Chains A and B, each alone.
Chain A
Amino acid sequence: MDYAINEMEQETLNATREFAQKKLKPVRAEMDAKEVFSPEILQEFRKSGMFGLWLPEKYGGLGGGITCLAMAFEEFSRVCAGLALTPGTTALGAIPMFLAATEAQRERWCYDLASGKKLWAFALTEPEAGSDASALKTTAIKDGDFYIVNGTKHFISTGKEADFYTVAVNTNPARGARGISLLVIEKGTPGFTFGKKEEKMGIRTNPTYELIFENVRVPRENLLGSEGRGLLYVQETLDYSRPGVAAQAVGIAQGALDETIPYLRTRKQFGQPIITFQALAHKVAELAAKTEAGRAMVYNLTHRMDEEFLPAVKAALENGTPVHDELKKIKGVRWTKYSAMAKLFCANTAMEVADECVTLCGGVAYMRDFPLEKFMRDAKITQIYEGTTHIQKNEIIAALIKEYAAKGE
């Protein structure tokens, strides 16, 4: 079912569906096999305005909010979860900037962000700090109008290709987690280099790199928000970005079904199409129902989010204030629990659907000529990045305990 509630959302679905079929589908197998980034597809995303869907019109965006971002990510991932990350990870890298940035910072960065001229990436994970973000060891020590950054980030999506990196650093190691801040570090800054390129199971066309910072001088104007509030912005970012991963997972599940159902209708064994065997048919029905449940979860959530996000963005542009500050004024709901629930459910659904679809189609689906094995490999990442499935459960139970404790129950 389509969850578009207005013309903009419906046209987002129309445009991204056509884009996925015309531009992504013909190259997905080749890009996956070669495990390289595609500058040609990047150019196609730019030409069709796919980077600015969630950004305000002022900067050349569409003004579509979190829902349009999630819809695009679902439709691209329905065809190729790897190529979908070209605009997807740029959004992830840019959301913390967009939330915390001053008006001057928005003016500096948002035009080239919305046009896709500059790509962004999000750098939180370190060799010794993944799920426990507070353990990060990258430091940024103040030196006049600069920060001197030292440390290593790894598993960074769109590494090397991105122009701007939103990097979680510790500006006050003595304060631990309360010393964490976000800095925007531009590619090409002296001392900022790229280490190992990872070879991955899935989402192979999106490059994953290690980032190395050795005495990198980053100007103070690149600090997002205030010092020590980095984890707060990260949490707020994840609240908005996890529904995106959930949408990606729904796309992967739907894409797997899109390949499976036509095959089961045409494949004959024992003299009949194998979809007429009830054991298989009922399995497909269950998978389709779970996928639809996930979709309903995602768009109910993003529509509620946009009811706050879009007015906050509008107010921020009018008042020249950070979006984060405007959100605080009008924010009624903390989204963490629902975002975690959507990601948990949809990621598990994607993995289950892709896995079962390979089994349903049998040998052909195990072969690389058929796209299902790729969907199965790609699905796995949705259970891992932006917080593993276990971390989502931690978020959910922490929120539940808090809710019930507040009620005195």
Chain B
Amino acid sequence: MQKIVNVCTRVEGHGEVKIMLQNDEVSLANFEFNVYRGFEKFLIGKRLLDIPKFVSRICGLCYASQAIASCKTLEDIYNIEISEQSIYLRRLLMTAELIKSHSMNFFFQTLPDLLKIFNISKNTLSPYELIKFNPQLTSNLYDLIKFGNEINEIFGGRSVHLISIVPGGVIYSPSGKLILLSQKYLQKALTIVEWIIEDFIKLFGNQIPPEDFNLPNTICLAKNNHGIYDRYSGSLSLKEDKNLIEFEAQNYTRYFNKEINLRGIDFFFENKKNVIVGPFSRYKIIEKYDFDKINTYLEYFNKSWTNNLLFINFLRLLEIYIESYKCIQILGEPSLNVRKYLPSFKSIKKNEGIGVIEAPRGTLIHNYHINKNNIIDEIKLFIATEFNIPLLNQMITKYAQELFDKTGDIKLVEKEVQMIIRAFDPCISCATH
């Protein structure tokens, strides 16, 4: 048996593809990471209200989602309702994070792959070559990243590990002027993303994506608000084909769970099907975004696309559009610009709390348990990428087997499987929490 390990490039964090060759056949391809940081372990014993600041540091891309999920968990434990203003602000910060994360992934990581897959470029383009390939697209994407970042800095205090997210809500500080500025940023973002969406349609709309990237039968998991796209509030849904189960977050153990100190999530589905989370699931579960314009964009893509991994790239762009649009409205809310104090965290009501958020990459669940002395004694973090890993491995194994059969070129296999990995947009920092 031969083991081939190759470092993944253009992914967030340090991950490796491991391919096992047995009798001239690929027996297994796995996406692995060697580092495991053990947040679930070392946060035990820490003070409850300090946790959000610590967990934010799990990931430099999903920082806001991590912190907000953690705050929601604490609010669950203390049974605290946060103000409407704080909810608006949390949505705003999550949107900014999403714009940043999705655009970075699209530009640096998946766009070069798309161009190569559809033979628009011969090689995988480097950022320098991308600029030359389409200067306007490039500068537009830089702008999107910048807008996301600016809004985070204005409402969060800095670009990542936002200061303003605290248990009980969001510390609100910007002036009216800065709100106007943010509105302008988002309006600009809306125009830009529209332009990019149209560009995307122009480039790929009439192409047929490779079948290798077709998703097998999976179970989609995402948060939604009664069938409406919502990453902050609502309940969780599972969907397989047409079967939809909606359930409250605290009942998650019926479907999946994890063991402390062991990596990965255990699913309790009879057919052993894998789960997918992220933009794809969010779309599949609600079936329709409540935006006419978006739905017309979707019509450009036929069936061959909608079950394909590469379609997620398009969905990401749509999400940027939807969320920017919604945030412009949030920024216009009069209740936003009122100084409100945060609720007090006096007494603990429950010994366990759950907080669920749709992070850019998918469902994120925080579950803390506290002991008699109100000290955390168990922490479970369900991270989007962790949900996706079994499916990802299933897909890359299949792909590697077929490609190696076809070409016998292991070097090629190493490179090509990474395209699938990138299409999933794995967040290794998160996964190695």
- The reply to whether chain A is a binding partner of chain B is no
Please give the residue numbers on chain A whose beta carbons come within 8 Å of chain B beta carbons, in ascending order: none
